Structure 1
């Protein structure tokens, strides 16, 4: 990329409309929510082409901004925790430390309009994701605990020469990826039709024996807050067509003599093996593959998809580098399959009970082993269903947040049909080795979003 920089033109705050029915609401946080206090905001966004038949570009962008603000205000009335701020209450006698969301004493969500003098092609043509995408999001490097003083939701609209990027930074304490895309799609729905087909469920779910608010065994946030700088990484998107993934799935199931391994487990196994090979680590070195899984459907009774909050559990498969690479794709895929299959209501409740006995706040530097591959996000999220009067997005992209060596985020492919895009973050020398890995690159498909 050349030298152009993102210029912030204006910013304002957007409050829910109407605002009276929850104005005094305090939202208590669950163990899943509180555990997120020291990680980054979720930063994802969509890149759209401007309509080709524009008569007046200035009028188009001004109308778009007004309509986005108005529909955001209406959407926030359904997702009201996003318009609040975090508050910590401490008492000495008896000793208590609680964090919750105050939905009343807040300016609302931030709304930013910015411009950048580049084209969509300049952003999407380079092999590596240009770092300028980080400037398309507010809350750069912010962690969720900063939601005490920063908005829990910030929207940045960046106008390009021939496109518009809608970047959204949402506090991860308020919700997970499922919640994030439920909000984004609801906003799009209200933008287009002014009504919502599926209402979010804002009432937080707590284990039976847990009476909110949860009191933490801390005296000061310095005890659980960690800020770590992201190392120098290369970030690159790899596309896998539906046909390529079907082949991987057939191969993994055939090698494991089963029919139950899923497409995503097969793809994750390929990624785990290929990155481990690219890292050239000793054969006795432990390596882990983690998958971020929603627990909603695994609870008994199940929590609805509309549950707005965090409901995440990381499942692990672990082995040595030697064993992973000596065995075939099916062997690794089966390990991941078993790990996912074993996640049930009992496991989740046991985790929550252990957390309540000894609360843990996730920290980027300590939560992940050095030779871990972490599969985040999900190709099941309906990212390309969000349209804001500009048709289907050209691409989905992310910001600075929650990236480290071995972090892989999955997205649905733009053409649908079961295709998947993977955003891979690796040390530069590891990425170069991965790009030379025949097994991996043979599964990667050519795809140019600019042609669609």
Structure 2
């Protein structure tokens, strides 16, 4: 399923629905969450958008991923709770989430290993679901792409000189500042100067990109062979600095993170 068709929310909605249909008794097939296919557009915007290209080479490219190594890390719910408490205590708050804490931990760890120059700019980008941020909000059953990336930005020196809570708060601020206005401002800017995202734009060895989400229902799907015992993904959409998150097997708040690097 190409990302042009749908985002992670839609991807797992499809698989969850497919599994539900498989388990339906006889012809009594009902879908708990019918997908919403009606396209959303900002007010006053026509669904027909002309792109400023004359040849496909201007907007289509083939990304050849370099040879990467990968490591899988599993965090228990207990260790996540301790890290979250530590980050919140260091920032004198209780608003930093588990995901923001772990993202900050990985960001700082990768930056430390890379031994980047003190003044090197580095950022950590998180995928943000826009459905609940819109006013009025879009249904979580909206099928398609409705996501953006938000990022915390600093220098390698600042990131490592400060503690985990400082980095996690950077990411927390990026998340809470991503509002309906920010999404619409980006869309209207894009309409003035349209472009097609290229995978190579994500490749920067000084940065970290967090993909997927532990909130997706990945283990609840079953097609007659028993439930999954692990979730993995292939080499597509993988590049240096890409981190993919999965819920841990059995739930309970455990997480598995896949890190790719040269």
Which TM-score tier does this pair reach, normalised by the shorter chain? over 0.9
What pairs up with 1:25-424 in 2 under 5 angstroms?
Answer: 170-193=1-24, 194-424=29-259
What are the superposed Cα offsets for residues 288-346 of structure 1, whole Å, 9 maximum, x if unpaired? Answer: 10001100000001101100000011001111111000000000000000000000100
Query: Which whole-Å CA distance do the structure 2 matches of 1:229 and 1:280 have between them?
Result: 26
Q: CA deviation at 1:392?
A: 2.0
Q: Which ranges of 4 or more aligned residues in structure 1 deviate by more than 4 Å?
A: none
Shift of 1:390: 2.8
Gapped regions of structure 2 (runs ≥ 5): none
Greater length-normalized contact order (CA 8 Å, ≥ 6 residues apart) = 2
SS in 1 for 2:72: strand
For 2:140 and 2:226, the matched residues in 1 are separated by 26
Alignment root-mean-square deviation, CA: 1.0
CA distance in 2 between counterparts of 1:388 and 1:414 reads: 18
The one-character-per-residue Cα deviations of 1:236-261 (angstroms, maximum 9, x if unpaired) are 21111111110110000000000000
Mapped partners of 1:341, 1:260: distance in 2: 10
Given that 2:21 and 2:31 are in contact with CA atoms closer than 8 Å, whether structure 1 keeps it comes out as yes
Query: In structure 2, what is the Cα distance between the partners aligned to 1:232 and 1:171?
Result: 22
TM-score, scaled to structure 2: 0.96
Count how many residue pairs are aligned between Structure 1 and Structure 2: 258
Give SS of 2:231's match: strand
What are the superposed Cα offsets for residues 380-415 of structure 1, whole Å, 9 maximum, x if unpaired?
Answer: 000011111233201111112111010001111112
* Greater Rg over alpha carbons, structure: 1
Partners of 2:205 and 2:61 in 1: CA distance: 17
